[in-house]
Amino acid sequence: MQTVKNLARNSGFLFLNGIATNILSFFAMLYIARYLGPKDYGIFSFAFAFIYFFSFIPDMGVHQILVREAAKEPEKAGKLIGNGTIIKFFLSFVALLLALICINVISFPPSTKNALYIASLGLLISGTGAYGIIYEAKLRMEYS
């Protein structure tokens, strides 16, 4: 019965988190679109859509493996988080390097290139997500 309670609670937290994130994103995009105007918002949207193609590289299934292993052996969670962070940072740099190569190989206008360079920095942030695995492994989604 406790497992069902945990599952319901965790599902609720994940659901509410998704709704809150989508609402905030919606209003942020409205503001950004009004502030930038049609042309610049198009460049903004293209930059993030282009960089999205590289966003799968920093994870590559590492997160799921870390959660599984931390759930199996909770005493090794600290070491797993450390190793996972190192792996994700390395993969983030690989993704950034690939994105920068593609940006420079394809001939984009200067304003689009600058937007792509700025958006590509977000790939480095994706290497910091290993810390939440401990909460997922212990089924405490309200903290993740």
Phi, psi angles (nearest 5°) of residue 45: -65, -45
Which long-range contacts link 115-119 to residues 24+ away (Cβ below 8 Å)?
115/43, 115/44, 115/46, 115/47, 116/47, 116/50, 116/51, 118/47, 119/47, 119/48, 119/50, 119/51
pLDDT in tens, 39-54: 999 999 999 999 999 9
How high does pLDDT run on average in the chain? 84
Q: What is the pLDDT of residue 134?
A: 63
Query: Which pTM does this prediction carry?
Result: 0.76
pLDDT in tens, 87-106: 888 999 999 999 999 999 99
Give me 137's structure tokens.
Answer: 């492994």
* Domain parsing of the chain, residue ranges: 37-143
